[in-house]
Structure 1
Amino acid sequence: MTADLVVAAAVGVVTAASGWVVWQSGRARASAAALQLAGALLVGGWGLVVVDADPLAATAFRAGGALLLPLAVLAYPRLAWRDPLSFVLLVVIVGGGLLAVAWPATLVPMGYVIGTALLLHAWWAFETGSSEDRRALTWSTLAWITAGLVVAFLAFLSESAGRGVFSDLDTLFVASIAVGPVAMVVGIVRPEVVDVRGLVTRAVVSTTVFVAFLSAAIGLASVVEVVSGEPMRTTPLAALCALLAFGVRPLQVLLRGVVDQLLFGDRPDPLAAATSVADRIGDDPALALDAVREALVLPYASIRTGGEVLASSGTQVTHTRTLPLRLGTDEVGEVVVGLRAGDLSLSSGDEDVLRIVAPLLAQTLRAQAMSRDLRESREATVTAVEEERRRLRRDLHDGLGPTLSGVAFATDAARNQLRTDPDRADELLVGLRTETAAAIAEIRRLVEGLRPPALDQLGLVGAVRQHAATLHSSSGTPLAVTVDIDDHLPALSAATEVAAYRIVVEALTNAARHAAASTATVTMQVRERQLVIAVRDDGRSDAAWVPGVGMSSMRERALQVGGTLRATATAGGGLVEASLPL
């Protein structure tokens, strides 16, 4: 059995399988049916050869390759026959295929006729089809044309060498057919796997450069042969090809620019784009993305952090690339850009521009985050102030209000009883004294709620030591508290000082009441512009701490001044750590 028969059987299997996949997709059903029949005929022809039915095998091969395969391509991605041109092409392909099947001598000329008709079909389908049809047709057309060019080039080399370098061209031709059905599957099932327009651009550029290089080499060698009267020797020919190779890369760059401009429009100059972006980036990420997208002529750009899109510009596309946004060693987010039509990846110039502007975008992202944090901090401050005012109003109305009203009424009653019943008046004055003392105590409580007096009298260190000396454990024994505070603490704001004091007091109170602790340690020190507070006790707890009112109060006080707090049970006892910015 010859190699071309084995290859024909393999191509038949690939073609039939491709037709089945296309059929399952629910699209291009006519093309899928033709592919499956063509594959079945190719495999059947191989089987007929095995049983020595060569005439029937040849007919099956011609029917599969010259009739059904062209019909599959004509019906891809949809069968059109109602308009005049489509009807004429259908008649030509069916007639040419039937003629090639019935009259083997016409196979080659009918092959040219059918090929020309299929090229016209591709052009007409591009003109009249939808964008989805065009994308699928691009995959198919690119594959068939590339396969044809490769086989034609190998035939040219074989003929030029004159020694049958590629004596099995029939086998290569049959093998190249398998590329088409596979590309038809991709065009229907996964056309977005890569931007096929980028493949077209590269194929056009590579083919043009290759043909130009080959033509120049053959032309110069022919001129030398005509002038000298003998063929060019191997060494000079190799040197000539080496010299011509220096022009391959410049020609590629030039042709890529020309093809890009013809097919997709102008591309930006990287240096000018970077300058434009740097001049236009501000504090708004959306405006910064607009500047990036317009300068690089990109269809889409967005900034993400934590999987959430913070800002976007343009229309989202299928093919994107992602670059991290870093400030120093910290990654603050990522920028996602959509690839332009015809690009398989970002060009080196585009990547250079994005690397230049990435720190600016990261700064913009950081500025927005700081602005958001500042706004939330202001809102929290305003909320806290309003809540404090509401508490004061409630305490004054419900506490001092009735007390002072009672004092006023008792004063009037004492005046009325002063002359007629001095004993009763004296009794009222005694009650008045009691109510006044209660009012004074309530005022003191409110004042201490606003700011502990000990802070103004003793300072933060003295106030903490004074409070620590008054604590007792749950068993009634004094709680031994060691206070280790830097004597050279910088001047603290009133809010930070109150927050630090309240956190220490609450942490020590929890240790005395709930942790069954006998000793505790309080440390305060300054680290990197932060007041770091740590309260440790030797109380043991087998379960994790459940946040209560006291713990929530400590956390809220730390957050109000922009700090953090962590409270946890460790193997050695309880630990409360707070970090408050100076």
Structure 2
Amino acid sequence: MPFPTAAGPPASELDAIILQMVVTLGVAVLCTWLFARYRKPVFGAWAATWTLYVFRLLAIYAFLLSGARASALLYWHQVVTGWTGIAVLATALVFSRRLRWRNAYALALLFPLVWSYIAIYHLDHFLLAALPAVLFLSGATLWTGLVFWSYARRTPSAGARVLAAAFVMWGIHHLDYPFLRAYGAWAPWGYYLDIVFTMSVAAGILLLVADELRGGVVALATLTADHATAPFAPRTALLDSLLARAVAIPAVRGAAVYGRDESGPVCERGAGICRDWSGSRPAPADAALLERATAGKGRAVLASGWQAPDGSGARDHDVRFAAVLPVQHADASGAGALVVVAEDHDPFAALDEEFLTALGRQVGSSLALSELNRALGERGEQLERLSARMVVQQEEERRRLSRELHDETAQLLSAVKMELAGVRASLPPAQAERVDDAVTLTDAAIRSIRSAIEGLRPPLLDDLGLVPALRSLVSAFRERAGCEVRLSLSCPADVPAPSREAELALFRVLQEALSNIARHACAATVWVTLDVAGDTFALTVEDDGRGITPSAASRNPGVGVIGMRERVAALGGSFELALREGSGTRLVARIPGRSQAVRTA
């Protein structure tokens, strides 16, 4: 079949070529901008591919204007057509494998040069010249469509589906070129279809970028949510949650957190295909990557693979891509690394260096926050133990003072009273009256000491139990303060008596609460309620006094309130104080009935 003459091409065909060149050049500029913006090699490859396609169109345009049968322009059109197919396929294959240069690729690049020269300058046959180039371009385009179809099945990407459909239909469309061109039926609708497919590919690329940005935003947003709950989660649960977020990123097959012990790097936790890596040590080459990442400036380190430990499930997978993300504390000190592995280096799955670095920082921040909360929790437990020890020591000191006052001071005063009574019998009436005054003062001192003894260690608790002791305390307060006190004790008769520690804590809380009301509240009515729910005793004290603002209470909570709170916390209970300015105060102390004092050692 001879070459078609290029003399006098229709204006509609030239206009269609110009329009296609403008559209294709726009796509090349778009990919160049994406490469400059995101610094991903795949965008640079796309830009080079579309630039080649523009040169292909320039060659055919110049050939049509030249009027030559088989000029160098036609030769270079065929060569660039073959190279364009190679570029399209190579760019697409990045989505399924990590490409490395091989010598066989040079033969593929030489084939369009050699065959086009033979067909155009020696065989002088248009179909033989055009058909191999078109078949190669069509095959590469169809293969590209299949690559994106496979990628779309692995990742839920709308852009990949658009690219798959566009490249498959475009590949089929390429097959009709030599036949329609030979019979003059190609222009202009063949160019218009090429324009439609070119714009479809551009739309697919933009959708892929949108999918990437959306995936990155979702991943960081979910990590931010985990970051908010990090202080309250155990470290293992937090690691599992963070690793699950990393594995959820498209194309990521596994993730593992590496720490360090005295022997070097060690895997602390894994997920996905890395779930069996826990406790294993990295291969020497991988350990070097970990050292490089943690010793650097907080940047992610990308690698072409990762050697899975022996016996792990990852041995059955092809780990072709790994990213080592330094996990840092807030002070930028390296604390470990997060390793993300994939079966391929997915250029559109948010796996760029900036995102990975941000991901590592977010994970490090969550882990650091969890570690800080753990340290604060330990410090809080230490303070609780110290508070409990102080409460225990305080009660021991109260018991010691109570015994000393009862066994020594009170007995001495009783002896003094008896001695005064004996002396009085031998004195004249005038002097006996003065002795009576001394006896009266001694009785007052004995009553004062007995009152102090009851305050230090209420005997009713030991003799009759909690409820009678509370009734006695309320009765004494009613007489002393002149308030109306309404006491409600909703204790079932069959409720077991609480522990001595719980009894004493409830008694002390009510004692301190009534004392505060008498000193500060100016209340007319006080409500005291003791409820039992299961094993928990709830003591509620409420008054209608003048109250206090919460802000004032936070500035000066008072020693009594602090003491009540610490006493209840030492037994594993809860203490609530509701403050209402001008409308009284409500106090609720809940204490487990079988509780024991917090371990003090």
TM-score (normalizing by structure 1): 0.46
Which has the bigger relative contact order, CA under 8 A and spacing at least 6? 2
TM-score (normalizing by structure 2): 0.45
